[in-house]
Amino acid sequence: MTARTRAGAPLAAAVALALALAPTAAGAAEGGPGVTVPAGPLRVGQRVLVDLDGWPAGTAQAEVCGNAARRGALDCATGDATHAQVPPSGRARLPVLLAAPPVACPCVLRVRTPTGTAAATAALPLAGVDAPPAAPGVPAALTLESVRADDRSGPRGWFGLPGELALGFTLRNPGTEDVTDPPFTLLVGPPGRARTIVAAPAVGTVAAGATRDYRVTVPTGAAPYGRYEIDGRIEVPGRPVAFTVEAARRPWGLPVAAAVLTAALLLARRGRRAPAR
């Protein structure tokens, strides 16, 4: 009996260790995007492999957050986030650096698309975090008062050459606290497939009770007749602001040039036939 107990002790220890190191999975609602992280123990500065499943094709951003990411980007090490491309299969493996979050744990790994339309979090047993706890405060808020986009390509756009769209929107701060430089992401592309990342300007400070207008130039590639979609997301902690707006590009110069060329060819042909009579 004693011999069996001694022989079983290493086996029990091995099983316990395997369970401790087994990855843990978490994600959005069933059928939505998911993220799987190692169970730990993990430390700040360590690089780990993270598995994604069920994600839309395109860019995914993974970042370490304290305070269980309750305040969104304010709790996350966004500056040290990992960006990667997810293939059409929806599965990817990312090497993620476990950066120190700006606030104390409980820590999570937050993965999302640039506009936040798909997101998932997983508990992160992270050691070595010495940041202070998140300070209590009144939740910040911004509201979108208006948004529009127009084609401003000029003569280049008349012929389907690369041009630009003029995006305009208005934000209002209905709260009692200023909102300063929340992360802002912009994507542009065909409707339903806006995946090209645009360099978004800094939002700056929207004072409490104030309204602020923004004008952004969004570059576009060469395009025939059709529409462009611009997707934007402003990461106000806990209350993100998202918008989608479309603009049409109609390069009338192409059919006009074709008509003029056709007319010129017809006139030239008639001119050559006239002397023969």
Residue 134 lies in a domain: no
What is the total count of domains within the chain? Answer: 2
Q: Specify if 114 maps to a domain.
A: yes
Give residue for tokens 């209002």: 172
Do 84 and 155 belong together in one domain? no
Residue 95 domain flag: yes
Q: Residue 103: which domain range?
A: 22-127
Of 47, 24, 46, which Cα lies nearest the Cα of 36?
Answer: 24
Beta bridge partners of 217: 166
Reduced to 3 DSSP states, what percent helix, strand and coil does the chain have, rounded to the nearest 5?
Answer: 20, 40, 40
Q: What is the pLDDT along the chain (277 residues), one digit of tens a residue?
A: 333 333 344 434 443 434 344 455 455 445 689 999 998 789 999 999 999 999 999 999 999 999 998 877 778 998 999 999 999 999 999 999 999 999 999 999 999 988 777 889 999 999 999 888 877 656 678 999 999 998 876 565 555 566 788 999 999 988 777 788 899 999 998 888 888 999 899 898 888 788 999 999 998 875 555 688 999 999 987 789 999 998 877 665 556 555 666 766 777 677 666 555 4
Alpha-carbon dihedral sign for residues 180, 105, 129, 62: negative
Question: Which pTM value belongs to this model?
Answer: 0.52
Say yes or no: 103 and 151 in one domain: no
Q: Residue 38 maps to which CATH number?
A: 2.60.40.230
Burial class (CB in 10 A: 0-12, 13-18, 19+), 28: middle
